[in-house]
Amino acid sequence: MTHTIKSLVKETDVVLMGAGIMSATLGMMLKELDPDITIQIFERLDEAGTESSDAWNNAGTGHSAFCELNYTPQKPDGSINIYKATRIAESFELSREFWAYLVQKKYIQPHEFITQVPHISLVWGEDNVTYLKKRYDLMQESPLFRGMIYTEDRDRMSEWAPVVMRGRKSTQTVAATCMDIGTDVNFGNLTRCMIRQLEQMPGVTIHYNTEALDLDPDGTGGWDVFVRNLLNRKKEKCNSRFVFIGAGGATLHLLKRAEISERKGYGGFPVSGLWLKCLNEELVAKHHAKVYGKASVGAPPMSVPHVDTRMINGRKELLFGPFAGFSTKFLKNGSLMDLPSSIRPDNAIPMIFAGLKNM
């Protein structure tokens, strides 16, 4: 995508580094709260929302806690804690309220980014079935999970998720919960919709193909921000009262360059999630749900298997995963040197312990 190179605003109220979902959301909130505020957004690529926010780079579940079983851990005594699930569901409801506000203001349209897709938790084995029933009973006490259905009826589960249930042994004990009000969220489209709206607002300047290089305290509570245009290689500086680093995998490097004590100890780890994309259109058409399983005891949350219906660019897709991947890149459009160059004396030991803990 081609964008006109815009002049840098030397003095601004807010700088947002990265044009992903977090910067877009914060930018919209700030402009709604204070229409006179001035904002500059710096994006390294030529389009917004193409890294972690892009639909192909996340499951689009929205983390509503309807089906993610790792949010309701079982304690050694057999009891289940739903506190985390409740907090996450509350947060997602706040997100939906904010999006509804943006729709009401005609900034975005629902069909551009959100689709109703049932969220299903499916487990097998006596212990897991007992766990799921306990979880369901506890969640019924919260209005956030009203409407959740529990079943051990194989025929009903086959209606909900025919592809997942096909071929299972009749002797296998299975159970499932379903939330019909679940959604698939295209965070990439949502980001681009908000960024387009921001571009039309006075006081907002978005610089594409522009890389944030460094930021330093200016001694008065503000920040000097150094950037480089990747098309003409021109380096410039601007000053801002507030800086938000929403640069995804590039955030760690920028945080390390900021002269604040809180940066110490943070590191990145070369673990990624890989997905299989279904190319069988008949199979894609048969499945309409996000079906989450239960990770094995001691396995990391990323290992929870799920089959996800996605709506991407108006087309129904089906993903299965995640599978563990290894990459020293912190961004899809990053460098293989991202990990090695991020290791410092203050974060080397925490990274070693993180690696040992997850082996």
pLDDT per residue of the chain (359 residues) written in tens, 0 to 9: 668 888 999 999 999 999 999 999 999 999 999 999 999 999 999 999 999 999 999 888 878 999 999 999 999 999 999 999 999 999 999 999 999 999 999 999 999 999 999 999 999 999 999 999 999 999 999 999 999 999 999 999 999 999 999 999 999 999 999 999 999 999 999 999 999 999 999 999 999 999 999 999 999 999 999 999 999 999 999 999 999 999 988 888 898 888 788 888 888 877 788 889 999 999 999 999 999 999 776 666 666 889 999 999 889 999 998 888 888 898 888 888 888 888 888 888 888 887 777 66
Q: What is the distance between the alpha carbons of residues 19 and 25, in angstroms, rounded to a whole number?
A: 10
Taking only the tens place, the pLDDT of each residue in 57-115 is: 988 887 899 999 999 999 999 999 999 999 999 999 999 999 999 999 999 999 999 99
Residues 245, 250, 256, 258, CA torsion sign = negative
Residue 299: its pLDDT value, please?
64
Cα 88–115–27 angle (5° rounding)? 60
Residue 31 has which token pair?
A: 């402009």
- What's the distance, Cα to Cα, between the start and end of the chain in Å? 42
Taking only the tens place, the pLDDT of each residue in 30-62 is: 999 999 999 999 999 999 999 999 999 988 887
Q: Are 66 and 182 in contact (CB under 8 A)?
A: yes
Residue 358: its pLDDT value, please?
65
Residues in contact with 248: Cβ distance below 8 Å, sequence separation at least 6, in sequence order: 18, 20, 51, 52, 330, 331
Whole-Å CA distances, 23 to 135, 175, 194, 205, 276 = 35, 40, 10, 13, 29
Helix, coil or strand: residue 283 = helix
In 3D, which of 118, 121, 18, 115 has the Cα closest to residue 67?
A: 121
80 DSSP 8-state letter: B
Q: What is the distance between the alpha carbons of residues 140 and 122, in angstroms, rounded to a whole number?
A: 18
Helix, coil or strand: residue 176 = strand
Residue 301: its pLDDT value, please?
61
CA 282 to chain centre: 29
Cα dihedral 184, 87, 17, 111 in deg (nearest 10)? 20
Residue 263: its pLDDT value, please?
80
β-bridge pairing 119-124 and 223-229 = unpaired
In 3D, which of 316, 223, 326 has the Cα closest to residue 278?
A: 316
Residue 323: its pLDDT value, please?
84
* Domains with residue ranges and CATH for the chain: 11-54+187-267 (3.50.50.60), 61-185+269-326 (3.30.9)
Residues in contact with 162: Cβ distance below 8 Å, sequence separation at least 6, in sequence order: 286, 287
Q: Are 213 and 254 in contact (CB under 8 A)?
A: no
Q: What is the distance between the alpha carbons of residues 188 and 275, in angstroms, rounded to a whole number?
A: 17
**What would the DSSP string read from start to end of 323-352?**
EEEE-S-SSTTS-TTHHHHH--HHHHHHHH
Residue 297: its pLDDT value, please?
67
Residue 300: its pLDDT value, please?
63
Q: Are 268 and 249 in contact (CB under 8 A)?
A: yes
Diameter of the chain by CA atoms?
A: 70
